[in-house]
Amino acid sequence: MIRRPLSRFGPSAGLSLLELLVALALLALVAGGLASSLRLGILAYERSRATGPTAAGLALRVRLRDWLAQVVPPHQLLPYPAGFEGRADRLSFITLAPTPFMPDAAALRVEVRLNGSDLTLSASGLDDDGIALDTHSGILTANAGQAAFGYYDRTQGLWLSDWTDGSRLPDLVRLEVPPGSDPDWPVLVVRPLLGAAPPG
């Protein structure tokens, strides 16, 4: 008896209804994922265009918060003075926080100052001997008006406009800018991590 090879296209050839439904469901999942990814990409693009002019100021604000949190206290031994100076219109300090834009710097001297109507930040990289390597500066916010620096002293239980105690750091540092600055500046309050404990 001679057997004939089975045809590849017999009565059971094709997709069953169940296989077709599974394929359509998978296709719908992939299409939904692509649509949401495209929407997210469009939103990110629109947001980056909206914050483009103020992105540098926002990045400086984030860096300032990090640097203030890592202020070097006056009692830490360094080959150069590590004082914290706080006034009503400016503050300056030294931080050992990492500085990716100045990889050769051993420390960073930071100054925030009210220059006319602008609030500016200046950061100078220092070598091991305290000599400035390079200085970067930028505007934190324009139209800062009557920006005010404040320094909280837990022992007195009040905010001071000037910090004159050279033996320790303030418990909190605050920077307030009136509404109408460009970009808008929310109240910045930072606790130096190496300073005294937060107010109780």
The answer to whether position 9 is within a domain reads no
Q: Which spans in the chain are helix H? A: 17-51, 55-69
Token pair belonging to 114:
């009210």
- What pLDDT was estimated at residue 198? 42
142 is a domain residue: yes
Flag whether 199 is in a domain. no
With 50 as the cut, is the pLDDT of residue 146 above it? Answer: yes
Within a domain: residue 120?
Answer: yes
Whether residue 170 is contained in a domain is answered as yes
- In the three-class reduction of DSSP (H, G, I as helix; E, B as strand; rest coil), residue 114 is classed as strand
Instruction: Say if pTM beats, i.e. exceeds, 0.85.
Output: no
Q: Is residue 80 part of a domain?
A: yes
112-118: long-range pairs with CB below 8 Å, 24+: 112/64, 112/140, 112/149, 112/175, 113/89, 114/89, 114/90, 114/144, 114/147, 117/142, 117/143, 117/144, 117/145, 118/142, 118/143, 118/144
Lowest mean pLDDT among 10-14, 64-68, 87-91, 114-118: 10-14
- Flag whether 8 is in a domain: no
Task: Note whether residue 46 is domain-resident.
Answer: no
Q: For the chain, what is the domain count? A: 1
Q: Which domain holds residue 78?
A: 53-190
